[in-house]
Structure 1
């Protein structure tokens, strides 16, 4: 939510981070040096819910046996939930990581 809120405000602002992915995705504030770069090169920022992230984690496990950390499943959650809708003919790739996940607790 940090980058999303900064885009809304047009500048870095403090943004509350709550939920399961907050530890890896939401610093308190986007950096002053990074924000102009994001404005120039990032088309948009999307928000996904904790439920979307959990569904993405489950789908990754059920379909391809990948255990992902919540933050690592967020981009896939955007696609799976329909919050990101590819344009016709658009090819997308989603990077997934899981190093901050304990398989025993998954």
Structure 2
């Protein structure tokens, strides 16, 4: 009776990707997008290396957003780094900052449908 109401039991199928070990290796990317959460000023040294190496960095400052002095100190250093490498910086929202390497500029105009 239950089979009539609910139908036959279906066995879920999936593909185990580990069985396909012969996947082609793709070419290394020229630039990566890195997301980093900054907890303290000292974290900035490691994260800034990503930008110096030509990667785009999305910096989450929410852990320090309540400390205005620390946040201002970090933002001043990020701006100095951006000037140093001729990159760009913009706020995505209140807690996330995008930092671009040399040769990448941020267009701050929003795209809209016509």
| TM-score by shorter chain over 0.5 | no
Q: Name the structure with the higher strand share.
A: 2
- Scaled to the shorter chain, the TM-score interval is under 0.3
Q: Name the structure with the higher helix share.
A: 1
What TM-score, normalized by structure 1, do the two folds share?
0.21
What TM-score, normalized by structure 2, do the two folds share?
0.20
The structure with the largest alpha-carbon Rg is 2
